[in-house]
Amino acid sequence: AQSVTQLDSHVSVSEGTPVLLRCNYSSSYSPSLFWYVQHPNKGLQLLLKYTSAATLVKGINGFEAEFKKSETSFHLTKPSAHMSDAAEYFCVVSDLSGNQFYFGTGTSLTVIP
Amino acid sequence: DTAVSQTPKYLVTQMGNDKSIKCEQNLGHDTMYWYKQDSKKFLKIMFSYNNKELIINETVPNRFSPKSPDKAHLNLHINSLELGDSAVYFCASSQYRDRYNSPLHFGNGTRLTVT
């Protein structure tokens, strides 16, 4: 069975400092992994995806994530937080059929000015 | 040129009423979904249709009935609304032919409040 665990329900960073949002996955095969961002009262927007190509994936708005099979992790990072990054972030894994997407419980990112 | 659009954005209604939420996508995708997001932001799959055929039907009360007239539309009808149905409902789409790589594309959600 596939699942994801987001290790932090809430992360606070100061503006201009690095962001690290942690995600571990469980999958019996090489998974597809995604990060989504949800701003208040908005839908979910795709930040980046990993689909067995390069293990370091670059996304929009300066975010990137590294797939580490040995650690079953797919952590999201950004070198310098911006106020507009304050949002809810979801790590998602897709099953082999691609029919089902398994969501983490989300990490709320607060950016302190 | 909205990719996945849902209507209405807000829906306030009383217990016992019947309501519908509509969803349309213009991405040419062949698979559509309904998700429910609760007050703790947890997202739960409800239904998925591929080319008008139901492929995912999670444990959802049968008061919820999806309808897909064509692959670009997926509507959600809810009968006899209950307080616990209050949530944000998201429509999403993806491309089944490239399903391993195709991410979900979401609408902006419908905030349902049952009083």
Q: What is the CATH number of the domain that holds A95?
A: 2.60.40.10
- The predicted pLDDT at position A54 comes to 83
- The predicted pLDDT at position A31 comes to 83
Residue A30 has pLDDT above 90, yes or no: no
Domains of chain A: total:
1
**If you average pLDDT over every residue of chain A, what do you get?**
92
The DSSP H or E segment spanning B111 is strand B110-114
B111 contact residues in A (CB cutoff 8 A): 41
What is the pLDDT averaged over residues A69-76?
Answer: 94
- The predicted pLDDT at position B105 comes to 93
**If you average pLDDT over every residue of chain B, what do you get?**
91
What is the percent of chain A where pLDDT is above 90? 73
For residue range B56-91, list pLDDT tens digits in order: 888 889 999 999 999 899 999 999 999 999 999 999
Using the beta-carbon criterion (under 8 Å), do A51 and B50 form an inter-chain contact? Answer: no
Span B4-114 CATH architecture: Sandwich (2.60)
Rounded Cα distance between A76 and A89, Å, is 9
Rounded Cα distance between A4 and A10, Å, is 16
Is residue A94 within 8 angstroms of chain B, CB to CB? Answer: yes
What is the pLDDT averaged over residues A90-101?
Answer: 81
Rounded Cα distance between B88 and B108, Å, is 10
For residue range B38-57, list pLDDT tens digits in order: 999 999 999 999 888 888 88
- The predicted pLDDT at position A27 comes to 79
Is residue B99 within 8 angstroms of chain A, CB to CB? Answer: yes
Q: Domain limits at A104?
A: 3-112
Interface test with A, best of B43, B48, B53 (most A CBs within 10 A): B43
- The predicted pLDDT at position B97 comes to 66
- The predicted pLDDT at position B80 comes to 97
Beta strands in chain A (DSSP E): 3-6, 10-14, 19-21, 23-26, 32-38, 44-50, 56-58, 64-68, 73-78, 87-94, 101-103, 107-112
Using the beta-carbon criterion (under 8 Å), do B109 and A42 form an inter-chain contact? Answer: yes
